[in-house]
Amino acid sequence: MKARSISSAAEFQAYCEELRAKGQTLGLVPTMGALHEGHMALVREAAQHATLVVVTIFVNPTQFGPNEDFQRYPRDLAGDFRKCEAAGASVIFTPNVEDMYLPGDATRVQVSGLTEHLCGPFRPGHFDGVATVVTKLLALAGRCVAIFGRKDYQQLKVIERLVLDLHLPVRVVGHPIVREVDGLALSSRNAYLSSEERVRALAIPKALSLAVAEHRAGQRHSGVLRERVVAAFTEAELRVEYVSFVHPETLVPYADEAELPQVCVLAIAVFSGKTRLIDNVVLGLDAPPIVPGARG
């Protein structure tokens, strides 16, 4: 089905209102494009909660640091349109920067607490950029169900918080992480990896699976488990930014001396070569990223 393509913010807002007035309900999937199967799973999830799916594609400059990859972030609008239409999206919103950040733009949305942990200290300003652009997109879309991936677990929690705090008429739904057969989480940034870096990155799902297995077997010592995961990364020559066990809702980390609870999140950020990769698993709830016996 051909999707309606909109690039003007005012037109997008008016069209969303028009659709609702006609009795449609909207499922919103905000993305930065270079879409893959993970994004498509979000589109299909959106279709289960709403009568029409709206995908937004916007590489948001304010969430990138000065030394990050804004300029070279992968872009493939033609491919994105094809994939969205095949997955059943009805509207695709591709605003330009000047329409999202108007001349004289002076407003930022800042979520505190949740953003102090995990990626927060390593990417100053990142979550302000995310919270701001998502608030703008939700303000334009209006009442909807918005789908976000648990791949960006901290981002999901930040968005849940801002929707609550700002009384936005939006229901946020988190979608499980979509992985390759060998366990690597799908990410637009995987395109940066050389084949050798891609092989090394497999230590991520392996280490997370090891942590799931040990936690299931009763290992509750945060420091011991953390050391295991760090050692697996070091052995694979992945540079560790953080390996943290955190509370699933507050994201407050458990100290190395702490005893881990039945359910907690193991979140990691590592570099394979120059590419920064993040991943996570909810210990006590999620299946291991690498299912024993599955083909790799």
Asked if residue 55 binds ligand AMP (CB under 6 A), the reply is: no
Q: Is 154 exposed, middle or buried (0-12, 13-18, 19+ CB in 10 A)?
A: buried
Q: What is the dihedral of CA 196, 197, 199, 202, to 10 degrees?
A: 170
Of positions 188, 190, 222, 272, contacts ligand AMP by CB under 6 A: 188
Nearer to ligand AMP by Cβ, of 118 and 177: the residue is: 177
Residues 6 or more apart from 173 whose CB is under 8 A from it? 45, 49, 145, 146, 147, 148
At 184, list the tokens: 């690597």
Residue with nearest beta carbon to ligand AMP: 149
Q: Is 205 exposed, middle or buried (0-12, 13-18, 19+ CB in 10 A)?
A: buried
Asked if residue 289 binds ligand AMP (CB under 6 A), the reply is: no
Q: What is the DSSP letter of 117?
A: S
Binders in 80-119 for ligand AMP, by CB under 6 A: none
Binders in 128-187 for ligand AMP, by CB under 6 A: 148-149, 151-152, 175, 177-178, 185-187
Hunting for tokens 């990223």 — which residue is that?
A: 289
Nearer to ligand AMP by Cβ, of 14 and 181: the residue is: 181
Q: Respond yes or no: is residue 39 known to be catalytic.
A: yes
- Least distance in Å: CB of 148 to ligand AMP? 4
Q: What residues line the site for ligand AMP (CB under 6 A)?
A: 31-32, 38-39, 42, 148-149, 151-152, 175, 177-178, 185-188
Active site residues: 39
